[in-house]
């Protein structure tokens, strides 16, 4: 197949102290294609993006753009050539309106365009892609999905020819993802090239024109649409590694593990995130919580793990009231999706993996002698956990912020489960994990259930919910609107409940 190429990389290598992030990557991107990068956590996908956008300089290899060798020494350089990236941590000014934020992307605008004319240009883009975004809304009011649109528009007004997306759908609801894909397809049809990263196979199958598989910093193969299917890609990606197997026990509904009574939480804007929420969780139960993101799931996870305070209502563990108790953190553990920007609640970014692994039980006998930390025990624990969860942790003493997104998430999961909590709150736990790791997390949750751990599994992935849960409840506007049995329910039924239809 004779294809012109827009961008080509040849034998790119990039190392960090003690880590070979990219070993030998060659790939080419044609004009007007959606090219997907697939690979395990830590395979080097984000690093490659950062090389293409000039944030990192490769140790070796060359980049050709339009057939001409180029060298980027900063993101400004690559942007000037027409390579733009939609960042995972959006760089928006919260108090500015959508339009002002877009203006910021262009230096020297006031000298060239009248504001009005420029506004028309932006509006034209909005209309063209049927984005209902009000240019005068301040950015802080927007959903994550809408903020992502602004980032995209910033690149479009600069006429970028290659658009790079690093796990854009990890933070989007399925509905938002579907809209993003429509826009991406249109952009492709207009001749733009798109480089896309995702761990969700369903998406990869749906949208890609070509897929390149990255493994341990090497580009393995590039396959055009039609020459791959889910199984083939999975086996290429994982290679010899095995996907863990598990059998799910049935919950006996005997002993109550957690009871939530009339819980309400108000957010900073004074609105109710949780509204009179009541729920029971049994020992060994896996309770799936479905719902469109933004309907109180995050608030539920945050009150349970002690990050938010309840405005009213009670959380009971057996007959103990733990609503405001600090003992909550040893009874309930929480794991959550880690966005790429790392400024998350889960980790102390400047500290080592070993130190992060003991964050919740640094005070336990196992890791201290009197007031002193037992450094040897901490190191042994790190070695064991890194091995057990297949964490790519880099050299000893590496600060955790240098790990890839998926690997940071694995650290948190390993830590939260190591204490054998009674209740696990899992908020989108497998977003951002490669398929092997996601399966491993599923296995860990199931194993936990076998030993009596109860899990509140908050997810948007219906497949995940249906596969793991004993029971699925649906949240809508901070309330519980329905409860279904995964054995007998249908996707349609859950979908209706998620949109607020009251259950009969």
Partner 1 sequence: MKLVAEKRELSSRLFRISAPVISIFVALFVAGFLLLAAGVNPLQAYLEIFQESLGSIYGLSETLVKTTPLIFASLGVSLAFRMQIWNIGAEGQIYMGACGATAVALFSGIESHLLMITAMFLTAFLVGGLWAGVAGALRAVWRVNEVIVTLLMNYIAILGVDYLIYGPWKDPKGFNFPLTAQFSDAARLTEYFDTRLHSGFFLALFCALVLYLFMERTVWGYEIKVIGSNPKAARYAGMRTGLAIFAVLFLSGAIAGIAGFSEVAGLQHRLQHGISPGYGYTAIIIAWLAKRSALGVVIVSFLMGVLLVGGDSLQLSWQLPVAFAYAFQGLILFFLLASEFFIHNRVRLIRGERHA
Ligand X SMILES: Nc1ncnc2c1ncn2[C@@H]1O[C@H](COP(=O)(O)OP(=O)(O)OP(=O)(O)O)[C@@H](O)[C@H]1O
Kindly tell me which of 46 and 430 has the beta carbon lying closer to Mg ion: 46
E-state strands within 248-321 = 256-266, 272-282, 286-290, 312-317, 320-321
Over the window 404 to 433, marking each residue x when it contacts ligand X by CB under 6 A and - when it does not, the resulting string is xxxx--------------------------
Distance between the two ends of the chain, CA-based, in angstroms?
A: 56
What secondary structure does DSSP assign to 42-53, as a single string? TSSHHHHHHHHT
Name the helix (H) or strand (E) containing 13.
strand 7-16
Least distance (Å) between residue 56 CB and ligand X: 8
- Given a contact cutoff of 8 angstroms between Cβ atoms, the answer to whether 293 and 337 are in contact is no
Task: Identify what 154 binds: Mg ion, ligand X, partner 1, none; CB under 5 to 8 Å per kind.
Answer: none
41 binds, among partner 1, Mg ion, ligand X, none (CB under 5 to 8 A by kind): ligand X
| Smallest separation, CB 309 to partner 1 (Å) | 11
Strand pairing category for 218-224 and 256-266: unpaired
Query: Please, which residue, 82 or 284, has the CB nearer to partner 1?
Result: 82
Nearer to ligand X, 394 or 448 (CB): 394
Contact between 39 and ligand X per CB under 6 A = yes
Q: What is the smallest separation between the CB atom of 158 and partner 1, expressed in angstroms?
A: 7
Residues that bind ligand X (rule: CB under 6 A) add up to a total of 19
Q: Give the C-alpha separation, 203 to 169, whole Å.
A: 9
According to CB under 6 A, which residues from 45 to 64 bind ligand X?
45-47
> Residue 69 or 239: which CB sits closer to ligand X?
239
Query: Whose Cβ is closer to partner 1: residue 401's or residue 443's?
Result: 401
Q: Kindly state the smallest distance separating residue 100's Cβ from ligand X, in Å.
A: 31
Burial of 420 (0-12, 13-18, 19+ CB in 10 A): exposed
Q: Are 339 and 170 in contact (CB under 8 A)?
A: yes
Nearer Cβ to ligand X (148/437): 437
In the sheet where 479-484 sits, what is the strand order? 332-336, 423-427, 454-458, 286-290, 471-476, 479-484
| Separation of CA 417 from chain center | 20
Q: How far is the CB of 166 from ligand X (least distance, A)?
A: 7
Q: Dihedral, CA atoms, 73, 78, 80, 86, nearest 10 degrees?
A: -130
- CB of residue 431 to ligand X, shortest distance in Å: 11
> Considering beta carbons, is residue 284 or 405 the nearer one to Mg ion?
405
CB 434 within 8 A of CB 199: yes
Find which of ligand X, Mg ion, partner 1, none residue 345 binds, CB within 5 to 8 Å per kind: partner 1
Judged by beta carbon, residue 315 or residue 438, the one nearer Mg ion is: 438
**Torsion over CA: 16, 18, 21, 23 (sign):** positive
Q: Which residues, at least 6 apart from 252, have a Cβ–Cβ distance to it below 8 Å?
A: 282, 283, 284
Nearer to ligand X among residue 110 and residue 397 (C-beta): 397
Which of ligand X, Mg ion, partner 1, none does 149 bind, CB closer than 5 to 8 A by kind?
none
**Interface with partner 1 (CB under 8 A):** 55-57, 73-76, 80, 106-109, 112, 158, 305-307, 326, 328-330, 334, 343-351, 355, 359-360, 362-363, 368, 371-373, 375
Residue 108 contact among ligand X, Mg ion, partner 1, none, beta carbon within 5 to 8 Å by kind: partner 1
Q: Which does 131 bind (CB under 5 to 8 A by kind): partner 1, Mg ion, ligand X, none?
A: none
**Strand ranges, E, within 40-185:** 60-65, 68-70, 83-86, 162-166
Q: Output the CA torsion sign for 431, 433, 437, 441.
A: negative
Which of these ranges, 42-50, 175-183, 230-238, 273-281, lies near ligand X under the rule CB under 6 A?
42-50
Residue 214 has phi, psi (to 5 degrees) of -110, 130
Angstrom distance (rounded) from CA 278 to CA 236: 45
Question: Distance between CA 349 and CA 297 in Å, rounded?
Answer: 25
CA atoms within 13 A on the CB side of 463: 9
Binding mask 361-400 for ligand X (x = CB under 6 A): -------------------------------x-x------
Residues that bind Mg ion (CB under 5 A): 46, 404-405
Nearer to partner 1, 117 or 372 (CB): 372
d(CA 326, CA 396): 33
Which of Mg ion, ligand X, partner 1, none has residue 392 at its interface (CB below 5 to 8 Å by kind)? ligand X
Of 272-331, which residues contact ligand X (CB under 6 A)? none
Interface residues with ligand X (CB under 6 A) are 16, 19, 21, 39, 41-47, 392, 394, 402-407
């Amino acid at each position: 197949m004779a294809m012109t190429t827009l961008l080509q990389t040849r034998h790119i290598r990039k190392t960090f102290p003690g880590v070979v992030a990219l070993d030998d990557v060659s790939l080419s991107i044609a004009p007007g294609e959606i090219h997907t990068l697939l690979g395990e956590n830590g395979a080097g996908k984000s690093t490659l993006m950062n090389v293409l956008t000039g944030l990192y300089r490769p140790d070796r290899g060359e980049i050709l753009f339009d057939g001409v060798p180029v060298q980027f020494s900063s993101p400004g350089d690559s942007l000037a050539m027409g390579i733009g990236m939609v960042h995972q941590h959006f760089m928006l000014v919260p108090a500015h309106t959508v339009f002002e934020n877009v203006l910021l992307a262009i230096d020297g605008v006031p000298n060239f365009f009248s504001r009005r004319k420029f506004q028309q240009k932006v509006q034209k883009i909005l209309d063209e892609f049927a984005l209902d975004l009000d240019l005068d809304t301040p950015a802080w009011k927007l959903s994550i999905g809408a903020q992502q649109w602004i980032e995209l528009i910033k690149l479009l007004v600069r006429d970028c020819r290659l658009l790079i997306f690093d796990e854009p759908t990890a933070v989007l609801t399925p509905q938002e993802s579907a809209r993003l894909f429509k826009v991406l397809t249109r952009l492709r049809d207009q001749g733009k090239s798109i480089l896309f990263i995702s761990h969700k196979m369903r998406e990869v199958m749906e949208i890609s024109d070509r897929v390149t598989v990255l493994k341990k910093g090497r580009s393995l193969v590039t396959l055009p649409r039609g020459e791959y299917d889910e199984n083939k890609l999975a086996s290429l990606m994982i290679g010899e590694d095995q996907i863990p197997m598990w059998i799910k026990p049935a919950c006996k509904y005997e002993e109550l593990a957690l009871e939530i009574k009339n819980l309400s939480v108000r957010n900073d804007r004074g609105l109710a995130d949780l509204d009179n929420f009541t729920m029971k969780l049994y020992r060994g139960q896996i309770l799936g919580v479905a719902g469109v993101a933004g309907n109180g799931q995050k608030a539920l996870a945050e009150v349970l793990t002690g990050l938010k305070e309840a405005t009213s209502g009670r959380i009971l563990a057996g007959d103990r009231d733990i609503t405001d108790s600090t003992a909550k953190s040893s009874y309930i553990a929480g794991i959550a999706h880690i966005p790429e920007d790392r400024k998350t609640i889960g980790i102390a970014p400047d500290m080592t993996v070993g130190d992060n692994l003991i964050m919740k039980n640094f005070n336990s006998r196992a890791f201290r002698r009197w007031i002193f930390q037992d450094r040897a025990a901490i190191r042994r624990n790190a070695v064991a956990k890194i091995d057990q969860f297949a964490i790519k942790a880099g050299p000893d003493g590496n600060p955790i912020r240098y790990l890839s997104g998926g690997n940071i998430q694995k650290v948190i999961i390993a830590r939260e489960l190591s204490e054998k909590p009674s209740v696990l709150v899992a908020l989108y736990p497998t977003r951002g994990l490669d398929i092997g790791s996601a399966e491993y997390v599923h296995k860990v949750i199931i194993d936990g259930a076998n030993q009596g751990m109860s899990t509140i599994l908050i997810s948007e992935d219906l497949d995940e919910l249906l596969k793991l849960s004993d029971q699925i409840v649906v949240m809508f506007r901070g309330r519980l609107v329905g409860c279904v049995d995964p054995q007998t329910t249908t996707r349609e039924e859950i979908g209706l409940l998620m949109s607020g239809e009251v259950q009969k």
